[in-house]
Amino acid sequence: MSQYKEKLRVVIGSGGYNNNPGWLHTQENEINLIEEKSWESQFEYGSIEAILAEHVWEHLSVDEGSKAAKICYRYLKPGGYIRCAVPDGNFRNKDYQHIIQVGGPGPTNHPASSHKVVYNFVTLARIFEEAGFEINFLEYHDENGEFHYENWEEQEGVIYRSRKIDPRNQAEAMLFPSLMIDAEK
């Protein structure tokens, strides 16, 4: 772990992908967002510069998501951030909403079968604000279904399922966007 001491950046639930070279990629069995013991065995308070969580928070209940945000806050350096992306509850596409629904669209082996929450920009921001974070919205649909985009830097954490990166979202119509924020300590 010594190679990460100066600039410790952690991907939570990387799914075996390495979209972020130089970051520490983890799975739930290594770092569990809601079990602080798994954090304290690997990190010190205030030691992490950045945390990336792409399509992870929707697998936590609201209470678990709140607890996870508070734990992350403790382990981030002042000025550190969580880049978090979840399915967008305000994206107006019936097929997309069917896929991301709580419990998923079908068999228990479907990735969405363990979804516990479908967030919109207000409900996701609330989880992190209550933990002490300031929120910067990067990509999201508002309550009217209108898409908003703030240019973001890939070296600060790549979110594949985004307007910027995902080829499904490069044409005129988006097919699989994310609600994406930076929550800053």
Q: What is the pLDDT of residues 14-25, one digit of tens each?
A: 777 778 889 999
Q: What is the pLDDT of residues 42-55, one digit of tens each?
A: 999 999 999 999 99
What was the pLDDT predicted at 81?
98
Number of domains in the chain: 1
**Dihedrals phi, psi of 45, to nearest 5 degrees:** -55, 140
* Domain around 64: 2-184
* Beta carbons within 10 angstroms of residue 94's beta carbon: 7
**Which residue ranges of the chain lie beneath pLDDT 70?**
1-6
For residue 18, give the CATH number of its domain.
3.40.50
What was the pLDDT predicted at 6?
64
What DSSP designation does 113 have?
G
Gap between the Cα atoms of 47 and 113, Å rounded: 34
What was the pLDDT predicted at 3?
43
How many residues are there in the chain?
A: 185
**Dihedrals phi, psi of 122, to nearest 5 degrees:** -75, -50
What was the pLDDT predicted at 67?
98
